[in-house]
Structure 1
Amino acid sequence: MTKQYKSNPDDRSDNVEKLQEMVQNTIHNMHEAEEAAEFSNEKDRAAIQAKNQRRLDSIAAMRDEIKDEYAHREGRE
């Protein structure tokens, strides 16, 4: 007897909001890391700066995805 799996429909209705929340959380994490860097040694500070640069890259990608999702929502894709 094999199980039949039913796939869930693609629900993109709240993707814009989820992505916006992810951007805000990432920005918050960057600020927290910058505050921690003030009390860190040189090696840890460099690691924090590198991670924050990756966060900036992620934010840019998420903002592009927000634009795409918004266009899809508005039917302009």
Structure 2
Amino acid sequence: MAKPDNRADNDVHLQEHINHTLAKLHAAEEYLNEHAEELSAKDKQDIETKNERRKESINAFISEKRDESQK
């Protein structure tokens, strides 16, 4: 039997995702700043690329949170 669709706590879950992703983004930026000279060009690019995806995810979470608050 399928669970009923309960979206009452979506706002909370979305905020948790935003906070978690922001924490990962900042940790990666700090790591890059502290260890950039030790990393290969590929490793630096990989971290920067992943952070760009994180920023896109954060924007998507914020947009979804706005949509949820209007319902």
Superposition TM-score, scaled by structure 1 size = 0.80
Shift of 1:11: 0.5
The percent identity for this pair of structures is: 39
- CA shift for structure 1 position 10: 0.3
Does residue 32 in structure 1 map to residue 31 in structure 2? no
CA RMSD of aligned residues (A): 1.0
Structure 2 unaligned regions, length at least 5: none
Structure 2 counterpart SS, 1:11: coil
Superposition map of 1:45-64 within 5 A? 45-64=44-63
Q: Which is bigger in relative contact order (C-alpha 8 A, separation at least 6)? A: 2
| CA apart distance, 1:34 | 1.0
Q: Give the number of aligned pairs.
A: 67
What does 1:1-77 align with in structure 2 at a 5 Å threshold?
6-38=1-33, 39-40=35-36, 41=39, 42-72=41-71
Tell me how far apart the structure 1 counterparts of residues 45 and 30 of structure 2 sit (CA, whole Å): 13
Q: Distance in 1 between matches of 2:54 and 2:66?
A: 18
- TM-score (norm: length of structure 2): 0.86
Q: Which runs of 4+ in 1 moved over 3 A?
A: none
